[in-house]
Amino acid sequence: MSSEDDSVGFHGYERDALLDLKAGFKNSFLDNNWTSLMCYMNDTPYWYGVQCLNGQVTGLVLDNMGLTGEINVDALVNLTELVSLSFKNNSIAGNMMEFTHNHKLRNINISGNGFDGEIPSSVLNLNSLESLQLQDNNLSGSIPGFNQSTLKAFNVSYNNLSGTIPETKTLQSLSLSSYFGNENLCGPPTPTLCSTRNNLSDSDTVLVFADVIVLVIILFLFMIYYKKFKELKMKRNEEQENTIMDRAMDEGIPKRERGKPVFMENNGMTTFELDDLLKAPAKGLGKGNFGNCYKAMMEIGQVVVVKRVVRQVRAIADQKHPNLMPLLAYYYSEDEKFFLYKFASHGNLFDRLHGGRGTGDRVPFRWSSRLAVARGVGQALKHLHLNTRTRTTAAHGNLKSSNVLLYENDQILVSDYGLTSLIALPIAAQHMASFKCPEYLSHKLISKKSDVWSYGSLLLKLLTGRIPSHSAPPGTNGVDLCSWAYRAVREEWTAEIFDAEILAGKWPEIGQVLAEVEEIKVGGESEDEQYSYSSFDRSLTDDSLSATPSVVIGDDQR
């Protein structure tokens, strides 16, 4: 401040501030007007646009004067009594000036200029501010949080302001028109919603985006892993409840002697060690009369069926026919004996005939398919009974629908042949199909003809779709098929005796059926000899087998 400060009614520092301003404006009118005395006491000011009170500048109103140039941001610091400032409608550029020392300011109007930069935060300290008119400039940045209750007129329209309008009572109570023309302003009172993006820097946005992608990938991987884990678990539960070894322990079979399974030649099978088999995941297929049957999934990808037996014979392995289930390997030791068969994935004849009846899942079993089964089984029996190239001819002994297996490509495979000689008579008589024939029941006679009888009842079953009483599984009711069919033929119920499923397809000619039966019978007639267990037992003399015959043959069986 100059020494003139002390002189009453004149403040030289204010005059100097105005002269500096004038120098910046380069306005000829002001250059000529702002000369001599500025203001004195309460006299009318001598300078155009300057208002004074008690010799001090209280107002500066230079509207519509074509002012150009920039204003020094500190230009107003010495005008401490300033109440009104208006540079409306000029062409002033540069940043807005600071108002740090202008606490008495009530009205600021710099609208219609070229001010740029941000609104200085010093305006927030102007506690008497009533009107702030900043419209029609190039101001940028965000709006400071004006909260002065005195502020009633506020206009920042048509600038480049951006961001959320602060939620102060003062700013929110203003009309929408105060904010017009600022494309990037958002939030109330404008209708534009503020997105998160508006508040984030570009690098923040990239990071958030990357995080989201990583999260999605992790989630995706987790879902795949979980799905696979569930599938695997379900598969394991379903197929791998136990290994063959565990199952053996469950059945009370003691730890076996170590040995090697004996593989049949040319059976297309990759050989493996006993341990591999015993450790393979296994699924129970059923509890047969002579041991349990398991489906084992070998690590090398092969699926085999393991059938536990009491004793096994080489003769069974010798039997080779397209309709006989081939024996892949057998294992024999003191404590453990089993046969290994290939797995028939299409199930057995019993299930094909009776499974799913009355449900939507049932696939009709047509006559042509039944005929194919009848032929296949007949061929298998013919081979067993008559083939002289094997060491012995033998009866099947346990022909029934659960031992007729359906392999891929509609191949019919008869299994469980030759087991009769391995079973003690009382057990065989109780469980095996041949022992249900009339000759055995009345005269205790058993022969290959018993197989023919079993085959006959299998044919009747194929024709009628009924379960014969002699092979009805526990819990199912069977009918005496022979007497039922006899009665049906005698009383001429021809149509009724056929399974409705056959009738739904092509009507089978009974002559055709009989021709098929006759053809099979022809081979069997020549072999009239009755057989006993001893015919099988001869095969047990194979040196590789150390078991003693387990069948007790009584006189009444011959």
Binding site residue list for ATP: 307
Q: How many amino acids of this chain bind ligand ATP (CB under 6 A)? A: 20
Q: Is 395 one of the binding residues for ligand ATP (CB under 6 A)?
A: no
Given a contact cutoff of 8 angstroms between Cβ atoms, the answer to whether 424 and 439 are in contact is no
| Nearer residue to ligand ATP within complex by CB, 418 or 465 | 418
Q: Which residue has the tokens 């600038």?
A: 159
Tell which positions 290-309 bind ligand ATP, by CB under 6 A.
290, 293, 305, 307
Given a contact cutoff of 8 angstroms between Cβ atoms, the answer to whether 253 and 244 are in contact is no
| Nearer residue to ligand ATP within complex by CB, 137 or 348 | 348
* Residue span 233-272 as binding mask against ligand ATP, x where in contact by CB under 6 A, dash where not: ----------------------------------------
Residue numbering of the annotated binding site: 307
Q: Which residues make Cβ contacts (< 8 Å) with residue 235, sequence separation at least 6?
A: none
| Nearer residue to ligand ATP within complex by CB, 393 or 398 | 398
Token pair of 273, please?
A: 């060690």
Given a contact cutoff of 8 angstroms between Cβ atoms, the answer to whether 97 and 116 are in contact is no
Please give the C-alpha separations between residue 540 and each of 264, 309, 392, 418, 421, in angstroms, as whole numbers: 17, 14, 11, 11, 9
| Residue whose Cβ sits closest to ligand ATP | 288
Q: Which residues make Cβ contacts (< 8 Å) with residue 495, sequence separation at least 6?
A: 503
**DSSP E strand boundaries for 238-334:** 242-243, 262-263, 281-287, 292-297, 303-308, 327-332
Q: What are phi and psi of 188, to 5 degrees?
A: -60, 145
Q: Is 447 one of the binding residues for ligand ATP (CB under 6 A)?
A: no
Give 519's DSSP letter: H
Least distance between ligand ATP and beta carbon 344 (Å): 4
Tell which positions 83-102 bind ligand ATP, by CB under 6 A.
none
Q: Is the peptide bond before 189 cis (omega within 30 degrees of 0)?
A: yes
Q: Which residues make Cβ contacts (< 8 Å) with residue 410, sequence separation at least 6?
A: 369, 372
The full length of the chain comes to 558
Stretch of 90-98, 269-277, 396-404, 519-527 contacting ligand ATP, by CB under 6 A: 396-404
Determine which helix (DSSP H) or strand (DSSP E) holds 339, and give its type and residue range. Answer: strand 337-342
- In 3D space, the residue among 153, 9, 17, 149 whose CA is nearest the CA of residue 78 turns out to be 17
Q: Is 471 one of the binding residues for ligand ATP (CB under 6 A)?
A: no
Q: Is 286 one of the binding residues for ligand ATP (CB under 6 A)?
A: yes
Q: Is 403 one of the binding residues for ligand ATP (CB under 6 A)?
A: yes
Binding residue (CB under 6 A) for ligand ATP from 51, 415, 434, 532: 415
371-391 as b/e: b if 16+ CB within 10 A: bebbebbbbbbbbbbeeeebe
Q: Which residues make Cβ contacts (< 8 Å) with residue 233, sequence separation at least 6?
A: none
Stretch of 97-105, 118-126, 188-196, 343-351 contacting ligand ATP, by CB under 6 A: 343-351
* Residue span 371-390 as binding mask against ligand ATP, x where in contact by CB under 6 A, dash where not: --------------------
Binding residue (CB under 6 A) for ligand ATP from 10, 25, 341, 440: 341
> 3-class DSSP state for residue 334?
coil
Least distance between ligand ATP and beta carbon 311 (Å): 15
Binding residue (CB under 6 A) for ligand ATP from 111, 133, 178, 348: 348
Least distance between ligand ATP and beta carbon 453 (Å): 16
Least distance between ligand ATP and beta carbon 439 (Å): 20
Q: Is 405 one of the binding residues for ligand ATP (CB under 6 A)?
A: yes
> 3-class DSSP state for residue 57?
strand
| Nearer residue to ligand ATP within complex by CB, 145 or 286 | 286
Stretch of 34-42, 100-108, 242-250, 283-291 contacting ligand ATP, by CB under 6 A: 283-291
> 3-class DSSP state for residue 514?
helix
* Residue span 310-339 as binding mask against ligand ATP, x where in contact by CB under 6 A, dash where not: ---------------x--------------
Interface with ligand ATP by CB under 6 A: which residues? 285-286, 288-290, 293, 305, 307, 325, 341, 343-344, 348, 398, 402-403, 405, 415-416, 431
